Structure formats: structure tokens, C-alpha cells
Amino acid sequence: MTGQAGLELRGLRKSFDGTRAVDGVDLAVAPGEFLSILGPSGCGKSTLLSMITGLTTQDGGDIIVDGRVVNDLAPQERRLGLVFQDYAVFSRLSVRQNLAFGLKARGMKQAEREMRVAAIAMQLDLEALLPRSGATLNMSEMQRVAIARVLVTEPDILLLDEPMSNLDASVRMSLRTELKHIQASLNQTILYVTHDQAEAMAMSDRIAVMNAGRILQLGSPEDIYRRPSSRFVAEFIGDPPMNLLACELRGDRSDGSVVTALHGPIAVGPCRFEGAPSRLGIRPHDVRLAHDDSPQAARTRVVYIENIGAEHIAYVEYGDGLLAMATRPDQVREGETVSIVLDPKALHFILADDTVVQPGAPGAQHG
């Protein structure tokens, strides 16, 4: 079955010179799903991808594509399509030859090859580029050729290795749309590796956040954003990053409240976790301006403001440090004293073992 295949990774491991690049990864990608592996440089995501394709052999663990274990299959035989970070367009071949390459390799007859090449060229707007040499293309052209070249072979799974890092911001938007369109129209399973959380959040059905060779959390963008289960995920996702405030838990566990430098006590309900939280997390978008006499409002001074276009980030004095708060442009001015509240439904407890719990949310569990 082309395009619509599931991927399963069980206990995948790989070490280089004693360092564990991939340290026991379990992952299941549903057929037709767009799943991103998101993590910083060096987290092991490229090694993981390399093992899935077969270009690197794993030290242990299984890779299952469409129900078949492919561990012993050579990369040529796995029916996977990989788009490289640098696109790797064949520089001495024409675009047409690039597109036809995989089909020719599989022994397809010329007539059918030409038909398919024409079809994919039309689909990805490459018709004008067909006679050009691979070496003369610009970045975004190369990237479309790289994707087309792979898609035309109808791979079970489309794998992309940080495909946007070489592109300008304007071109990225069109690629995002393109990829979603491909997923929808072909029901293509897509595995997308990136370090850019905005990309992952925007495009994925689910995200697997990875660090130090392990997958820390797997969930929808909403899950990852609102209910991060570890400190790393909480800090990595969200731009600007989450505020981490010193805090103190009060009251008994069945109905606790939390106090910070300026706020509290804020009721947080049952606290089903051990020990005291080391920090209280709250995202800048969950800190709001309020009337001076609102309950739970605290007054503080705006120290400085970052203008990032559609919104401003105001940094206000908070205890020993600063709290970042998202505001509409010109809603506040530097030096002004304002009243702010913390959204009690958007709090995160960062525990001593670096797991994160969201208080009060139904079914909130240890991370």
C-alpha cells in the first residue's frame, strides 16, 4: 500500500564511541499521520532518522514499516522516501532526470516514467524547471525537486530531515502549505524532523519531543503546549519561553494553594504529586493585565518592552527577577505600573525530578 503506512519503533538504540545517541526510543506513527520529531541539535533525531532509513544500522531495537520488520532490509528495499537537509539534488543531471531517477532504478518503462514525472512536475509547479541542470537551481527550487523526486516513487512513508533550515521565511510558508496538501491528498504518512518548534506545532498531527536520545513526550501540539510533562518540554516549547517562578505550596494536599513573590494564594485543588514543586511555570500569554482592584491582581512596574510586531512582550519586575507578559502593541509603556493576574487554569508545577504537573486539570498525572 503506497503512502499510507504506519511506522513503529521499538526500543531503538545507537551509541557512538560510548555516547548514547539514541537511548531506547519507542514510537508509533499512524498511517496518514503527520508526526514531527522535535528537539535541539544533538538530541539524536538525525541519528534516529538515519536508522529508520537504513543508512545507519541500529545497535538494538526494531523498525516496523507497514507491519513488516525492516531491520535486515537495505535502504533501497525499505520503500521509504527521504528528503535530505541539503536536498542532495543530483547536480550533474537535469531536473527531469532527477525526478525520473527513482522510477528508472525500479525498472519502470519509459512511457510510464514520463507520465509520472509530468504529473508530479505539474503538482509541485516544476514544469518550467524540467530541462534545467540540478546545479543551477536555487534553494527553494532544489527543495521542491527533492520532494518531488521522492514523492514520484510513492514511498510508504515520507521522511524529511530539517527541510526548512535552508529557506527564507517567505518560502517556508508555502512549503508548509505544500506538505499539508500532500498529506491530505495522498494520505501520505509523514515523519518530519526539526528543531523549529513553530514549524512542528503548525504542521503536525502529533509531536514527539526528543532530547538526549530519548523521547520525552508524545502528543498533539495542544497537549505539548498546554500539558508539558517535563521541564525540558515546558521550556523548549513556546516562544517566548515559559516563566519559571519561585513558589510555595500551602495548605493540605487535597485542596492546596500556591504563593509566588507577588501573587497568591491561588487555589489549585488536589495535588496528586509527591514533594514540593521547585518552580511554578506560567506562559507569557497566560499573564494578563487586570483592573487594579481585581482579586488576585498584583501591581508591578514594567521594566522594558520587546516589540515583535503583532504583539509586545513586557518584562515586569517580579520578585528577584522579571516576568514576561504578552500584550497588545502599546497596551503598556515602559516604566508604567500595571496590575497583572496569573491565569489559574494555565499553571504548571515543575517538580524536583523535573517532571511537570498541571494542577487541577482532570486526569493530571505525574509526567
How far does the chain reach from its first CA to its final CA, in angstroms?
37
Would you say 155 or 344 has its CB closer to another protein? 155
- CB 95 to another protein: min, Å: 14
Would you say 90 or 257 has its CB closer to another protein? 90
Would you say 101 or 267 has its CB closer to another protein? 101
Burial class (CB in 10 A: 0-12, 13-18, 19+), 75: middle
By CB under 8 A, tell whether 102 contacts another protein: yes
**Which residues in the 22-61 window bind another protein by CB under 8 A?**
53, 55
In angstroms, the CA 326 to CA 286 distance is 8
Q: Which of residues 11, 16, 106, 329 is near another protein by CB under 8 A?
A: 106
SS3 at position 299: strand
- CB 101 to another protein: min, Å: 6
By CB under 8 A, tell whether 91 contacts another protein: yes
By CB under 8 A, tell whether 80 contacts another protein: yes
Q: CB-based contacts of 17: which residues, under 8 Å, 6+ apart?
A: none
- CB 61 to another protein: min, Å: 19
Kindly indicate which of the ranges 60-68, 77-85, 261-269, 296-304 contains the residues binding another protein, using the contact rule CB under 8 A. 77-85
In angstroms, the CA 37 to CA 118 distance is 32
Q: Residues 128-167 vs another protein: string with x where CB under 8 A?
A: ------------------x--xx--x--------------
Task: Please spell the DSSP secondary structure of 84-130, one letter per residue.
Answer: -TT----TTSBHHHHHHHHHHHTT--HHHHHHHHHHHHHHTT-GGGT
Helices and strands in the chain: count of H runs, count of E runs: 8, 22
By CB under 8 A, tell whether 86 contacts another protein: yes
In angstroms, the CA 330 to CA 47 distance is 46
By CB under 8 A, tell whether 90 contacts another protein: yes
What residues line the site for another protein (CB under 8 A)? 53, 55, 75-77, 80-82, 84, 86, 88-93, 101-102, 104-106, 146, 149-150, 153
